[in-house]
Amino acid sequence: MKTKKVAIVGASGYSGEVLVQLLLSHPHAELVAVTSRQNAGQTLAQVFPKFASHPKSKSIRFAEPNAEVLAKQADVVFLALPHGVAAEYAVPLINAGCVVIDLSADFRLKSADIYKEFYAHDHPAPELLKKSVYGLPEIYRDQIKKALLVTSPGCYPTSILLPTIPLLKAGLIKPASIIADSLSGVSGAGRKAELDYLFVECNESVRPYGVPKHRHLSEIEEQLSLAAKTDVKIQFTPHLIPVNRGILTTLYLEPAEKLTDDKIAAVYKKSYGDEPFVRLLEGKSLPDTKNVVGTNVLELAWRLDPRTGRLVVMSAEDNLVKGASGQAVQSMNIICGFPETAGLV
Amino acid sequence: MKTKKVAIVGASGYSGEVLVQLLLSHPHAELVAVTSRQNAGQTLAQVFPKFASHPKSKSIRFAEPNAEVLAKQADVVFLALPHGVAAEYAVPLINAGCVVIDLSADFRLKSADIYKEFYAHDHPAPELLKKSVYGLPEIYRDQIKKALLVTSPGCYPTSILLPTIPLLKAGLIKPASIIADSLSGVSGAGRKAELDYLFVECNESVRPYGVPKHRHLSEIEEQLSLAAKTDVKIQFTPHLIPVNRGILTTLYLEPAEKLTDDKIAAVYKKSYGDEPFVRLLEGKSLPDTKNVVGTNVLELAWRLDPRTGRLVVMSAEDNLVKGASGQAVQSMNIICGFPETAGLV
Amino acid sequence: MKTKKVAIVGASGYSGEVLVQLLLSHPHAELVAVTSRQNAGQTLAQVFPKFASHPKSKSIRFAEPNAEVLAKQADVVFLALPHGVAAEYAVPLINAGCVVIDLSADFRLKSADIYKEFYAHDHPAPELLKKSVYGLPEIYRDQIKKALLVTSPGCYPTSILLPTIPLLKAGLIKPASIIADSLSGVSGAGRKAELDYLFVECNESVRPYGVPKHRHLSEIEEQLSLAAKTDVKIQFTPHLIPVNRGILTTLYLEPAEKLTDDKIAAVYKKSYGDEPFVRLLEGKSLPDTKNVVGTNVLELAWRLDPRTGRLVVMSAEDNLVKGASGQAVQSMNIICGFPETAGLV
Amino acid sequence: MKTKKVAIVGASGYSGEVLVQLLLSHPHAELVAVTSRQNAGQTLAQVFPKFASHPKSKSIRFAEPNAEVLAKQADVVFLALPHGVAAEYAVPLINAGCVVIDLSADFRLKSADIYKEFYAHDHPAPELLKKSVYGLPEIYRDQIKKALLVTSPGCYPTSILLPTIPLLKAGLIKPASIIADSLSGVSGAGRKAELDYLFVECNESVRPYGVPKHRHLSEIEEQLSLAAKTDVKIQFTPHLIPVNRGILTTLYLEPAEKLTDDKIAAVYKKSYGDEPFVRLLEGKSLPDTKNVVGTNVLELAWRLDPRTGRLVVMSAEDNLVKGASGQAVQSMNIICGFPETAGLV
């Protein structure tokens, strides 16, 4: 299988770090360049001591990001940048023939209007919104195969969309009833020197935030509306908990019809029975982030509550792997024709 | 003010430990006896090194629990026992004229039938169920004043009842709509040598459990039904998170009428505006367990979501203080005529 | 007992926060002013939500620090400032007749030369170095009683000096043999927005730092030299561990003579047997930070190793209480003639 | 390269779990059997949900341990058993021609007398002590190649021996001067349902234990004595810190001669410059467990202290990988002629 050359723009955050890790050990990808304004000139080994035993960690040096140079070096370019700056690199890289996989929120919405509503400025490259493919392989595998620009989903959205889309498509739940209560590890806030994310402020603490209108809602609701074929608004409460990695989402749903465990099981089996990265739990098992951290797997379980009539669905994922960099690599595998599980566990 | 003599039966668990701490420094209570089968013969200082600097820690020794002896020693007896064994001590102590404050679930239900449904055995002293007063001072202060047996609420129930009862009483929310998503520190599981609660099994992990029919539901629903004057069933999902202490509950509620922030604020202000241990957060503040751990305070905030029409209410408390031992001391203060905040912060 | 009016300059860091907590509940002190450049204008309740239930939290507002104003408001002023700026306030406050208790390192050294060696700039008020009293009550109680300027010891120094000074004074150990291996919680680094102290960088991590010449060495060695009556240099390695609060120090010492447990016990009993805030552990007990966090107590245990001939001494303290603010309040109690344990546990 | 069939006896503890993980993904080993008394009959997926996405997790079932059966199934057998029971399996397996790699302490000592001194009972198979090879590849690679029984080193010993053996062999340090201060994550205590290792007892706590005569001393001192060619006794203090995985050891050493950084660097470079799993840190870098957790790498740095004349050496490792299962797989790779880094990162 032909090796592809890959580069990462903005490789110094937590998602970037996991991308470096996954790509350094990928059997069919060769990491050829990493960029970072703040670390330019330093080797991978200097910035990430944990990779210092890898043979390439001393030869790969962070460069200033430059789309023209990257286009010559790489077949596939991952953008792991803060929101709002991805367009600057995506446009020239795509024009130069690179596959671009963007981990930011910049191209996740189809609608430039909703982008403006949630991000409070005009979209910098609205023409690309139509071209981008939402990089949730279990839902959009066929489109990803042919994509030039993959917009990799956010961590919260992944944990909410995978459990709900099959139910909505099958008409099993009421679209207006969706409540998503999510708990995220602190790496979800990024590697930012802010008081709120100091060890002492997060340890022995749990707190909701961004209530009631978190930015990720726009992306979640657009995808849910597509699945439900109707406009969907959901209730979403993110909480910060003192773990490094992991998201646990509990969903409260109202059945659209009389549901049984068999009916739900059938829908999930059909959707995910053969998926390597969705694990349907059986028996009494419930999701636990410690069973998925470090992997690209999303765990999923559900309970029909006979007392209330509601359906409770729970998911667990590693926010930096299935919720970010692992899923991005999964998309790369699909586009490049590699086995979808290559370089992922 | 006349000092009361107090004793603790079953003082070696986490709730018992906090009770010891609160009573050792209480201005109007004198701790005269502690009992524990497993620690009988040892001093407080030996069992709890952290109290070893307290002058009484070397003179107070754990005794075998004996109701007859305790009745002679103490005016007020706290029972911090596992579920199912409190009746054995409560009956003779009450008969001997002691005030009994029970921290177990044994007397929290009015209905012996519901007790049997949730605890799978007959109630050992059903006649006491009628006499016991539910020890939630903000709701039952007047009854607590005259109680001989106070049944102190559970940690999850406290975090759910205080936010919802005023709304139900005022008719602002639909009783059938209540969804409570709760996150608890590991001390909530008690000091039990079980694999599930080992450091390595809890750290870097978050998981739901007891879905969908947790035992605390019986107590929560009985109280909510009383407040709503109709039969209430709720959705409740507890989760275990890696902190020692603290419960964060997020409630999803559907308005029964057109709600405004002013209307909700008015109800909460009327109910809790003068309460020393309920803190209504203002402005952008949201509850955070780190702001209440070590105190008897419950933090409370709400958000009306104009997008979905739902009301989201969030509370934070220390599961061992307001959720257990602090609230029990608050009841003692009321019964004994002490200032309600004595010995509590 | 006459209440004293107290103020805190620089009350927004972790030590300042604990000072606020201790002084708000102190039976003989009245907190009258807090200052902070960054929080000026805000109330205590706004800056520290955890104190919002205290009646004074809404009436006390942070002010810009101003020595002239403070001198009129307060009898005792605590300085909880970063190193290097305490002199600016200490000089005018002392001249105006206030008692000043400084928590920074600015006045801890007697020698302006050593200050310059370790802090790389001239001391701003060398004349005050002679007047300041080192605020370690167990060693300098008599001098503290009459002090106008108390320089409260650092957290690491306290954990090292209390275990070693009695041994040095009694001539039991070789002064050149002292090795101190210390483990500190992250609050020791202060409330600073730096990447190194983010939750994700500290959790699931343990690391040494500042090897081999940490600034606190100057203060430790000056005090040890005074006790040993000879110039002492020690080996000191601080480590950062993922807890909020607590320092555990393990000391490796070589006996100067044939030692026995009885001889060591006699020295420690004589030094600390009646001290309320030093707990000599007995039997098999070893120090554990969880037994002292939240208290002003230092736990101390030792083991003579018959295999190597060395003496191993271990101490545990709360870095923010006995290692900072609690010890400062202890000094205030001594100066003001309050019971030494007032407001402390 | 010919695949070897491997089995694990006692695969339900933390070391066993990591062994399962490493062997499931090993390119040249095929995991054919796992045993566990308590989990017999269950699949790997049931016991370890985190491996449930691996294709073999549902076909491999835990069996009762039976040496005769194992000898027919496997070429290499790992023993991950509690101390004292490994001999029962090792003897028949070796006799049947299997390679045995034992992770317990049972065969780590050459001297049956020292075993009895530290373990308080006679060694069950003293004749095997002579045949076993100490599985520290960086020191005993040639002997491991031909070994039938590898006794894989303990976690603390690995963290102490790798830094000190080269210095002792080169005569750079005084053998009697070695002080090892070690900090270990809680997984080092094993998956045991004991109160001491509950989350609430370990979180926000740090404590020394096993002072001054920990069992691992016997193994450490035997190896150091071999390196120094003289009888060595060391000072060793283990501490428990609230992390899941990782050991940080700080060593205090006295030079045997005038040392320079160059001299030390030369010795370490010669010993470890080409070792894939020892990382000599450069510049200002110091070891940090978060840089090695999940890998088979030991990080090592040193500082000569000009003020005291001592040499301080620091190491970091993952106690379950380089300190246990990873190192055992490294030995397997050597014996079987696989690349030494196969299946390890």
**B204: chain A residues, CB-CB within 8 Å:** 243-246, 289-290, 293
C293 lies within 8 A of chain D by CB:
yes
The answer for residues whose C-beta is within 8 angstroms of residue D69's C-beta and 6 or more apart is D33, D63
| 3-class secondary-structure state, position A8 | strand
Is the pLDDT assigned to residue A213 strictly greater than 80? no
Is the pLDDT assigned to residue A96 strictly greater than 90? yes
Confidence at residue C14, expressed as pLDDT on a 0 to 100 scale: 97
H or E, element range at A249 = strand A247-253
Confidence at residue A150, expressed as pLDDT on a 0 to 100 scale: 98
H or E, element range at C149 = strand C149-151
Question: Which residue, among B216, B218, B209, has the nearest Cα to B237 in the 3D structure?
Answer: B209
**C203: chain D residues, CB-CB within 8 Å:** 243
The answer for residues whose C-beta is within 8 angstroms of residue B122's C-beta and 6 or more apart is B112, B116
Confidence at residue A252, expressed as pLDDT on a 0 to 100 scale: 98
Q: Which residue of B has its CA nearest to C46?
A: B285
pLDDT (tens digit per residue) in A97-138: 999 999 999 999 998 898 888 888 899 889 899 899 999 999
In this structure, what token pair is assigned to residue A233? Answer: 């608004």
C191 lies within 8 A of chain A by CB:
yes
Percent of chain C at pLDDT > 90 equals 90
Whether B212 sits inside 8 A of A314 (CB atoms) is: no
pLDDT (tens digit per residue) in D150-209: 999 999 999 999 999 999 999 999 999 999 999 999 999 999 999 999 999 999 999 999
The answer for residues whose C-beta is within 8 angstroms of residue B214's C-beta and 6 or more apart is B156, B236, B238
Confidence at residue B118, expressed as pLDDT on a 0 to 100 scale: 86
B191 lies within 8 A of chain C by CB:
no
Question: Which residue, among B168, B161, B94, B165, has the nearest Cα to B132 in the 3D structure?
Answer: B94
Closest approach of D113 to chain B, Cα-based (Å): 35
Q: Are B62 and B35 in contact (CB under 8 A)?
A: yes
Q: Are B84 and B103 in contact (CB under 8 A)?
A: no
Is the pLDDT assigned to residue A174 strictly greater than 80? yes
**B288: chain C residues, CB-CB within 8 Å:** 49
pLDDT (tens digit per residue) in B121-153: 899 889 999 899 999 999 999 999 999 999 999
Mean pLDDT of chain A: 96
**A242: chain B residues, CB-CB within 8 Å:** 241-243
Number of residues in chain C: 345
Whether B212 sits inside 8 A of A305 (CB atoms) is: yes
Pairs of CB atoms within 8 A across A/D: 37
D312 lies within 8 A of chain C by CB:
yes
Pairs of CB atoms within 8 A across B/D: 60
Q: How confident is the model at residue D15 (pLDDT cuts 50, 70, 90)?
A: very high
- Neighbouring CB atoms inside 10 A of D2's CB total 8
H or E, element range at D29 = strand D29-35
Using CB atoms, pick whichever of C213, C243, C314 lies closest to residue D208.
C314
Confidence at residue B82, expressed as pLDDT on a 0 to 100 scale: 86
**D49: chain A residues, CB-CB within 8 Å:** 281, 285, 288, 291, 299
Using CB atoms, pick whichever of A52, A204, A279 lies closest to residue D52.
A279
pLDDT (tens digit per residue) in C66-77: 999 999 999 999
Based on the residue annotation, tell me whether C155 is a catalytic residue of this protein. yes
Q: Are A57 and A45 in contact (CB under 8 A)?
A: yes
Q: Which residue of B has its CA nearest to C51?
A: B291
Closest approach of B215 to chain C, Cα-based (Å): 31
Confidence at residue D1, expressed as pLDDT on a 0 to 100 scale: 80
Distance CA D136, CA D223 (A): 10
Whether B281 sits inside 8 A of C49 (CB atoms) is: yes
Percent of chain C at pLDDT > 70 equals 100
Distance CA D220, CA D197 (A): 25
More confident residue, C215 or D333: D333
**D181: chain C residues, CB-CB within 8 Å:** 181, 237, 250, 252
Whether D199 sits inside 8 A of B204 (CB atoms) is: no
Is the pLDDT assigned to residue A214 strictly greater than 90? no
Rg (CA), chain A: 20
C237 lies within 8 A of chain D by CB:
yes
Whether D200 sits inside 8 A of B14 (CB atoms) is: yes
H or E, element range at D182 = strand D179-184
A290 lies within 8 A of chain B by CB:
yes
Question: Which residue, among B80, B95, B83, B81, has the nearest Cα to B127 in the 3D structure?
Answer: B95
pLDDT (tens digit per residue) in C13-56: 999 999 999 999 999 999 999 999 999 999 999 999 999 999 89
Average pLDDT over every residue of A44-55: 94
Closest approach of D102 to chain A, Cα-based (Å): 27
**C252: chain D residues, CB-CB within 8 Å:** 179, 181, 235, 252
Distance CA A13, CA A26 (A): 20
Q: What are phi and psi of C93, to 5 degrees?
A: -65, -45
Whether B199 sits inside 8 A of D195 (CB atoms) is: no
Q: Exposed/middle/buried for C287, CB within 10 Å: 0-12, 13-18, 19+?
A: buried
Percent of chain B at pLDDT > 90 equals 91
Q: Which chains touch A (3 or more CB pairs under 8 A)?
A: B, C, D
Whether B290 sits inside 8 A of A201 (CB atoms) is: yes
Confidence at residue C214, expressed as pLDDT on a 0 to 100 scale: 81
Confidence at residue D315, expressed as pLDDT on a 0 to 100 scale: 98
Average pLDDT over every residue of C78-104: 94
Q: Where are the alpha helices (DSSP H) in D246-344?
A: 261-272, 326-336
Q: Are C144 and C334 in contact (CB under 8 A)?
A: yes
| 3-class secondary-structure state, position D279 | strand
D58 lies within 8 A of chain C by CB:
no
Distance CA B299, CA B296 (A): 10
Average pLDDT over every residue of B165-193: 97
Q: Are B163 and D164 in contact (CB under 8 A)?
A: no
Whether A297 sits inside 8 A of D53 (CB atoms) is: yes
Q: Select from D198, D204, D245, D290 the residue whose CB has the most chain B CBs within 10 Å, as the one to mutate to test that interface.
A: D198
Give the CA distances from residue B54 to residues A207, B60, B61, B80, C334, in Å, rounded to whole numbers and listed in that order: 34, 11, 13, 22, 20
pLDDT (tens digit per residue) in D296-320: 999 999 999 999 999 999 999 999 9
Pairs of CB atoms within 8 A across A/B: 142
Question: Which residue, among C170, C200, C190, has the nearest Cα to C268 in the 3D structure?
Answer: C170
Q: How confident is the model at residue C170 (pLDDT cuts 50, 70, 90)?
A: very high
Confidence at residue C82, expressed as pLDDT on a 0 to 100 scale: 86
Whether B312 sits inside 8 A of A234 (CB atoms) is: no
**C243: chain A residues, CB-CB within 8 Å:** 203
Whether A290 sits inside 8 A of B211 (CB atoms) is: no
**C53: chain B residues, CB-CB within 8 Å:** 276-277, 279, 295, 297, 345
Q: Where are the alpha helices (DSSP H) in chain D?
A: 14-24, 44-47, 67-73, 86-95, 112-119, 126-131, 137-145, 155-169, 199-202, 216-228, 261-272, 326-336
B49 lies within 8 A of chain D by CB:
no
Confidence at residue B185, expressed as pLDDT on a 0 to 100 scale: 98
Q: pTM for this structure?
A: 0.97
pLDDT (tens digit per residue) in A231-263: 999 999 999 999 999 999 999 999 999 999 999
Mean pLDDT of chain C: 96
Distance CA B76, CA B91 (A): 14
Q: Predicted ipTM?
A: 0.96
Q: Which residue of C has its CA nearest to D312?
A: C212
